[in-house]
Structure 1
């Protein structure tokens, strides 16, 4: 079997990866055992083990307790559409995050006061320790968790107003733009940053991923007259979505 000059474990992982992608090892098929890999590729147990670790880190295979390692079914990526368009009458936060017309989700939320840590304080242009309202959302589609979101709003702006709790009161679930307008703040700008990182254990567990699975993070901040009024992180598994932007041309 001819290979290049890569380290042995990467050469083995690359060959197995090609078999998985090419369909020779379809989803739910058991990966060759460590002994079989050692025999077929002429490598040591250590090399065989490291090759399997590479495939697990890439999310191509998963271990099943007491059974072995199996090829994972790869989800068909959906589009997470980002657009300046707003539907008439406002929208709930998760309606804005839903990926396409085929995904009709339900969500649950919980809000709690907390002192802003430095990262959130920097994003909201407030002092660390200032009070914010943190709201956590879980979005489900077909009963499965697909998106997580956490938003923060400075209580210096919304405290003791009818919109202090994003999902309660007369404008519950109406979205940041409409809620802020109700207290005299005109949202005129939004900034987003898209990045990827290893998922936290609780994130990947909630999203149905495996330890070490990468997540896609959209960090969004709404501004009114240059002042940040809300910032949020939207998190999903990185193999589940592609971020698609549709922006107006002026």
Structure 2
């Protein structure tokens, strides 16, 4: 890294040079950056500019500050490919417990952890519209934080209709995590999920999502709204499922078949 040619905001140029070195591998994960005073001399700027540049990199999730231990290039978790066919893992016979999440993450059941919170709510207009039921219908709201090998990888809010699950083992949070996930849960009630639709948007995380997923506030997330259907009826609404954008690639398979003669 050499002396920075400055025009515009000086900190942006310093941040761009450091970002390039990190992404190109010249500053690999786990590397400690030089002291602010040393960076300031290298780039011919003040330490205030360096602090602004470091803040920019922290917001992007590229570096982290460890108190008085300096600034370090952040170790980035592996990027996972998440397939649109992932729910087939919940349908297949299982030699050992698992879900579509453990399948995506490539982890064993022993490496899986699920934090859960259940409560009964009255469906607001949005939730009722997704379920295609009357506003105010009684719904079981579940909030999950999914961990893979101790690292939070996903949060979600999957909801179920009280008419389907109230008074059943599915409504008891002590039964989580449940092998086979929601599809298996509903099957025990005689409800066979036969269709799933998802809509995906990208956005910035909420403060709660940033904290739960331990991501920098400048890292975008995938926010997925999922509907599970059985015989044309919506039986589960997950709104939203949130995945850090720097940890996932969403793969979708579209099978085209000619219409029957």
Check the 8 A contact 1:133/1:164 in 2, yes or no.
Answer: no
Question: How many positions carry a matched residue from both structures?
Answer: 247
1:196 counterpart = 2:166 = no
Contact 1:81 1:99 in 2 (8 A): no
Deviation digits for residues 79-107 of structure 1 (CA, Å, limit 9, x no counterpart): 2222163533599x971233547322434
**How far did 1:196 drift?**
2.9
1:114 corresponds to 2:121: yes
Aligned pairs (5 A) from 1:139-218: 139-159=146-166, 162=168, 165=171, 174-177=180-183, 180=186, 187-218=193-224
Residue-by-residue CA offset, 1:190-223 (whole Å, 9 max, x unaligned) = 2112233333344333334345543333221112
Structure that is richer in helix per residue:
2
Deviation for aligned residue 1:181: 5.8
Residue 88 (structure 1) aligned to one of 84, 88, 92: 92
Structure-2-length-normalised TM-score: 0.75
Q: Is contact 2:99–2:180 with CA below 8 Å preserved after alignment?
A: no
Return the match for 1:77 from 54, 76, 79: 79
Gaps of 5+ in 1: none
Distance 1:33 1:121, change over 3 A: farther
Displacement of 1:45: 4.1
1:129-182 residue CA offsets vs partner (Å, 9 max, x unmatched): 32101123333332333333321012244445x46527678xx65554555566
Q: CA deviation at 1:71?
A: 1.0
Q: Structure 1 44/136 Cα, relative in aligned 2: closer, same or farther at 3 Å?
A: same
Residue 74 of structure 1, CA deviation: 1.8
User: d(CA) in 1 for partners of 2:187 and 2:150?
Assistant: 34
TM-score normalised by structure 1 residue count: 0.78
Residue aligning to 2:226: 220
- Per mean C-alpha deviation after superposition, the further-off stretch among 2-11 and 56-65 is 2-11
Which residue is 2:243 aligned to? 236
Whole-Å Cα distance in 2 between the matches of residues 202 and 191 of structure 1? 26
Would you say the 8 A contact 1:116–1:131 is kept in 2?
yes
State the partner residue of 1:32.
34
Cα-to-partner distance string for 1:217-237 (whole Å, 9 max, x where unaligned): 322111235432211133232
